[in-house]
Structure 1
Amino acid sequence: MPVVNITGALGGNQFEPSIAVNELLPNIMCVVAVDTSSGPTRIGFYRSDDGGQTWTTSLLPQPTGYSGAEAPTIDYTFPSTFIVTVHVFNGENDGTIISYRSLDDGLTWNPPVFVNQGYGLIVHNDEPYVACDRTPGSPYRGNAYVGYTPLATAASSIFLQASLDQSATWQTPRRISSPRGFHDRAAIAVGFTGEVYAGYIITGPGSPYALLRTSYDGGVTFQPPLSNQATLIASVVPAPQVLPVPNYAFRVQTNLNLDVDISNSVYSGTVYAAWNDARNGYTDVFMCESPDGLLWSEPVSITGAPAGTQNFFPSITVSPFTGTVRVIYYSNQINGFLLDVFVAESFDGGATFTSRRLTTTSFDPNGNSPTPTVLIGDYITAYTQGPDNLAAVWMATTPPTGKLDVYFGS
């Protein structure tokens, strides 16, 4: 299918897109992103009922008392429910996590629900990530889980909350990481029998690591206990905050991505972890895999990109029907400056990968800006359109708009 510019007809910029697809009716797709078409940052909502060929655009309602919203993520659960989590704020104050839900495939949305409220500069919750349990062998099917990061002056931590009623209400927060490290975005994936895998990368103050904690009871408790070291996925060499390319100024975070094979394939149950890593002297996408979340393979590059190129912002999806593993990522491999989106695909449980280009036109990350831009967003998103197709969204400044737009491709 051709690449589609979802937001090209809108004013302002749109970035940090997240996509979810109805598993029962795979032509129905819902996307959320940061949207400045109305002036201040809001959450844009974009819906397609023809498999991504055409899209309607709108804004989700902003809760009273908050001036901005960002960092949206979306997921789907049976039969026709989409759940969105968002960070709302007032400048640097009052970072609060809220959720929205639609029970009719995104046609209408219930008012926002508070997940965890922020307070001034003291408690600032940020970087939410939502995942729903759609697994066939789970007693917790229908649960929703949101991870987020309460930020502090010199530290941060990862929290997780569960919802047992499709985000109508949220359970008591669980802290799943040390409050004395430096963390960014959490990653959540749900296993074949309802295991909740909650992972993150701690980038300091000591050596950086990707770590994992697992719940076998629907998010009530996590193993190993918080007093013990979390399960080690791998050591990490974070990407430079600004990649070493002339006229790049946008930031690149080093965040963990997780997914699990819940299909009936021979690789069923395998847990996959991916992140951008600079261990080879340039930023590349690495992956580890595990049969159970406890023992992990050594990290390997999956892009096949030339040495010295910059490959970042990975997002992973594993088909729940076939077990195909796909990871999308940005890369400057075509000319060293302009960016493209590629997908690395594995049809053998992560043993081998081949990459193909998704974008049809390379783009300048600075777009129309007369000076190098400091932000293009912090993530792009991959999802599976059943039974075995990719549904990917990313932001690009492709002409003729030259502004940040959200694109869809497969």
Structure 2
Amino acid sequence: MVNVQISPSTSGQFEPTIAVNWLNPSVMVVVAVDLRAGSPGVGVYRSIDAGATWSTRLLPLPTGFAAMEAPHIDYIFPNSFVIVVHAFDTNGLSGTVVTYTSTDNASSFGPPVIVNRGFGQFVNDDQVIVVSDKAGSSPFFGNIYTAYTHDYNTQFVPGVTVFCNRSKDIGKTFSDPSLLSSVDESQHFPGIAITLDGILIVGWISQPPGITSFTTTTSRDGGVTFGIPTKVASVVIPPTPLPGYQFRCLTYPSMAGDTSNTLTTRGYVYAVWQDFRNGYSEVFISISTNFGVDWSTPKPIVTSPVGSQNFFPAITVSPADGAVFVSYYTNRVNPPNIDVFLATSRDGGQTFTNKRITTTSFSVAGINLIGDYIGNAIVPQTGRLVSVWTDTRTGVRNIWFDDNQ
């Protein structure tokens, strides 16, 4: 196992996600917040040799915006990638959801497309995620879905809801947003899973001061309509920052569906999140075996010592054999320093093995932001998982990569 630094050492980067071309897995693309220009921008890091070497560049800002952050990326058959970002003005306001799409394996990206526009302190769209429908059994194959938090009336009494938009033309245009969550609650990042037949499940965790719970809603018509929200579980939100640390630590679900043809697990939907119910941050999983109608009792999946802090889980499910992979930060090795570990299940989430990804622990002392997430992607032909995370072993927040063979 070799950790590879893929972003410039001279500037800070954080919040990485990764996507792989399933037809040509030599092509891997990572996006992250990149500070090399001073203001936050989005760095694009591309490999055409399966992660051995990486090129890097910044996405151009959309007209009228001063900075952007919170990028997510996904792959679309056959040679396309879509990036979604949160763009904002010089006052840090007017948060707007913007996408960039490439149809040439990320050699170039088309002009930015506005998905949902923000306005001053009154409408702020943030915490974005993008997922494309790659389920071979799906009648909505190729659809792109974005979900995000929609902050409204922030100048007065703020409210936060979850919205979702879809594109049926590889990101050229997007539908009007669908309101998914209750206006009586407040949420952080939503999660998205797509499973057999293109069934779409979006989830979120309601935040304090209200009741904290994990909720999902399901669409069976390609994101046109959504069903009645379903409670998955009560959640105990870890404090932010975590005890002993200074960085922000938001709690939200990471979700994935099994689109494989493995008889024992096909169609399963998985959700993971960090939970403080035992007095420290653990990674819990809940599983739906009926496309989001019912969910299993949550259970922890990490094997860290009691009292260890485990957080920012990212889940990926192999479309080849249904294997479940969850990467996460943990201080289990050399506290208070941080490592990245990988939990793997090959029996539908019933049992997990845990192994270390990082080759050295890294310090986060004095850092108030390490980003809010990390990322995984699968190479279906070989069952390989590739992971990216924020790492400070050089003394600067940089993006690191590992091929978990």
Matched position secondary structure for 2:159: coil
1:183 to 170, 181, 187: 187
Q: How far is 1:336 from its partner?
A: 1.9
Q: How far is 1:92 from its partner?
A: 2.8
In structure 1, stretches of 5+ residues that fail to align are 225-229, 367-371
Which amino acid letter does the alignment assign opposite residue 18 of structure 1?
Answer: T
Match of 1:279 in 2: 277
TM-score of the two chains, using structure 2 as the length reference:
0.96
Match of 1:397 in 2: 392
Query: In structure 1, how many angstroms separate the alpha carbons of the residues matched to 2:198 and 2:107?
Result: 29
Match of 1:51 in 2: 50
Q: How far is 1:151 from its partner?
A: 1.4
Q: How far is 1:117 from its partner?
A: 0.5
Which amino acid letter does the alignment assign opposite residue 146 of structure 1?
Answer: T
Structure 1 moving runs of 4+ over 4 Å: none
Q: How far is 1:88 from its partner?
A: 0.4
- Is the 1:316–1:383 contact (alpha carbons within 8 Å) kept by the matching residues of 2? no
Which amino acid letter does the alignment assign opposite residue 239 of structure 2?
Answer: P
Map Cα deviations across residues 288-316 of structure 1 (whole Å, 9 max, x no partner). Answer: 10112111111110011110000000000
Match of 1:174 in 2: 178
- Are 2:377 and 1:378 equivalent residues in the alignment? no
- Is the 2:9–2:396 contact (alpha carbons within 8 Å) kept by the matching residues of 1? no
Query: In structure 2, how many angstroms separate the alpha carbons of the residues matched to 1:197 and 1:390?
Result: 23
Match of 2:251 in 1: 254
Q: How far is 1:207 from its partner?
A: 1.8
Query: In structure 2, how many angstroms separate the alpha carbons of the residues matched to 1:35 and 1:208?
Result: 32
Q: Identity, % of aligned pairs? A: 44
- Are 2:106 and 1:113 equivalent residues in the alignment? no
Matched position secondary structure for 2:243: coil
Instruction: Write out aligned runs for 1:79-94 (5 A).
Output: 79-90=78-89, 91-94=91-94
- Is the 1:29–1:48 contact (alpha carbons within 8 Å) kept by the matching residues of 2? yes
Q: How far is 1:49 from its partner?
A: 1.0
Instruction: Write out aligned runs for 1:19-38 (5 A).
Output: 19-38=18-37
Map Cα deviations across residues 9-40 of structure 1 (whole Å, 9 max, x no partner). Answer: 34210000010111111121110000011211
- Are 2:346 and 1:353 equivalent residues in the alignment? no
- Are 2:104 and 1:104 equivalent residues in the alignment? yes
Instruction: Write out aligned runs for 1:126-275 (5 A).
Output: 126-152=126-152, 153=154, 154-224=158-228, 230-245=229-244, 248-265=245-262, 266-275=264-273
Q: How far is 1:3 from its partner?
A: 1.0
TM-score of the two chains, using structure 1 as the length reference:
0.95
Matched position secondary structure for 1:326: strand
Match of 2:307 in 1: 308
Matched position secondary structure for 1:193: helix
Which amino acid letter does the alignment assign opposite residue 257 of structure 2?
Answer: V
Which amino acid letter does the alignment assign opposite residue 68 of structure 1?
Answer: A
Q: How far is 1:113 from its partner?
A: 0.5
Match of 1:369 in 2: none
Map Cα deviations across residues 117-167 of structure 1 (whole Å, 9 max, x no partner). Answer: 110110011011000001011110000000011113332000000000011
Query: In structure 1, how many angstroms separate the alpha carbons of the residues matched to 2:209 and 2:195?
Result: 31
Match of 1:299 in 2: 298
Coordinate RMSD, CA, aligned: 1.0
Which amino acid letter does the alignment assign opposite residue 16 of structure 2?
Answer: P
Query: In structure 2, how many angstroms separate the alpha carbons of the residues matched to 1:94 and 1:113?
Result: 16
Query: In structure 2, how many angstroms separate the alpha carbons of the residues matched to 1:179 and 1:207?
Result: 13
Query: In structure 1, how many angstroms separate the alpha carbons of the residues matched to 2:222 and 2:364?
Result: 41
In structure 2, stretches of 5+ residues that fail to align are none
- Is the 1:85–1:100 contact (alpha carbons within 8 Å) kept by the matching residues of 2? yes
Query: In structure 2, how many angstroms separate the alpha carbons of the residues matched to 1:96 and 1:143?
Result: 21
Which amino acid letter does the alignment assign opposite residue 280 of structure 1?
Answer: N
Which amino acid letter does the alignment assign opposite residue 145 of structure 1?
Answer: Y
